Amino acid sequence: MSTTVLESWNTAAPFSSLIPVALYPLLAYFFITGGLASTGFFVVQGKQTHLASQFTIALLAAVLLGFGVIFTSISIGIYV
């Protein structure tokens, strides 16, 4: 009794997000706000700070802004 790919496709359950769709705009706001705050902190750091500290803050800002852009896109209907 082998099933075809089409039968498997038709009987599969649809994907549902673990995060409620209504929270996407709020998450986008918090991620972008945190990313911009981290970016601002990175910009105003002195030149005498350690390279590891600068890299950590830059990485945090990049990750937060990346998730912010993803959640913003999804909340306005652009599914990436």
Stronger pLDDT, 9 or 26, i.e. the higher one: 26
Domain limits at 37? 33-80
Tens digits of residue pLDDT in 3-22: 788 888 888 888 888 999 99
Domain membership flag for residue 39: yes
CB 65 within 8 A of CB 39: yes
Total domain count for the chain? Answer: 1
Tens digits of residue pLDDT in 34-72: 999 999 999 998 788 899 999 999 999 999 999 999 999
Domain membership flag for residue 72: yes
CB 62 within 8 A of CB 36: no
pLDDT bin (cut points 50, 70, 90) of residue 2 is low
Task: List, in order, residues 6 or more apart from 60 with CB less than 8 Å away.
Answer: 38
What's the pLDDT at 7? 87
Domain membership flag for residue 49: yes
CB 60 within 8 A of CB 31: no
Q: Quick one: tokens of 27?
A: 């998450």
Give the chain's end-to-end CA distance (angstroms, integer): 37
Domain membership flag for residue 9: no
What's the pLDDT at 42? 93
